[in-house]
């Protein structure tokens, strides 16, 4: 458990870095989809929460801990569906951090009793909640790369 909690702390620190990375961008820049890309910066940020919720909660047979408007539109395979305004952007940033606090609390309380194994991408097989949590930094690192590339183009 201590190593998993350290990983959760690492995820939260990474997410705080992402918010810092994009804080100087305006609403239009966060929503812009440059030529050759399928999504934008704010979609990538919201996707981090949706993917973590899907991996940790859904695969454990538990309900997600965020409202559906911050989950379903940002799952893998989706694209930005609408312009996201400043208020919703602020909510996405808040949920990015608070969902990790909730994950730490839920993990500590032991609610993750089962896990549906996952091996669909990246050549990694996830067999437990610990595997899922340990996968999150890899996934988020990829999206930091996308966010940094998008930032240069907006």
Q: How far apart are CA 71 and CA 51, in angstroms?
A: 8
Domain of residue 33, CATH code: 1.20.120.450
For residues 8-12, average pLDDT = 97
Assign 1 a pLDDT band (cuts: 50, 70, 90).
low
**How many domains does the chain contain in total?**
1
pLDDT at 121 over 90: no
Mean pLDDT across the chain: 95
Q: Is 133 exposed, middle or buried (0-12, 13-18, 19+ CB in 10 A)?
A: buried
Q: Report pTM.
A: 0.94
Assign 124 a pLDDT band (cuts: 50, 70, 90).
confident
For residues 135-140, average pLDDT = 94
At residue 128, the pLDDT reads 96
- pLDDT tens sequence across 74-94: 999 999 999 999 999 999 999
Structural domain including 10 reads 2-153
């Amino acid at each position: 458990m201590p190593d998993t909690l350290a990983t959760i702390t690492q995820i939260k620190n990474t997410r705080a870095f992402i918010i810092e990375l994009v804080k100087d961008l305006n609403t239009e820049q966060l929503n812009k989809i440059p030529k050759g890309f399928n999504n934008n910066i704010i979609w990538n940020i919201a996707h981090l929460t949706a993917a973590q919720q899907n991996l940790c909660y859904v695969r454990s047979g538990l309900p997600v801990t965020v409202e559906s408007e911050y989950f379903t539109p940002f799952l893998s395979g989706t694209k930005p569906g609408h312009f996201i305004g400043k208020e919703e952007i602020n909510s996405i940033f808040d949920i990015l951090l608070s969902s990790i606090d909730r994950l730490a609390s839920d993990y500590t309380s032991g609610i993750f009793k089962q896990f549906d194994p996952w091996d669909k991408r990246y050549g990694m097989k996830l067999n437990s909640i610990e595997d899922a949590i340990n996968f999150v930094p890899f996934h988020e690192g990829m999206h930091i790369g996308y966010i940094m590339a998008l930032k240069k183009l907006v």
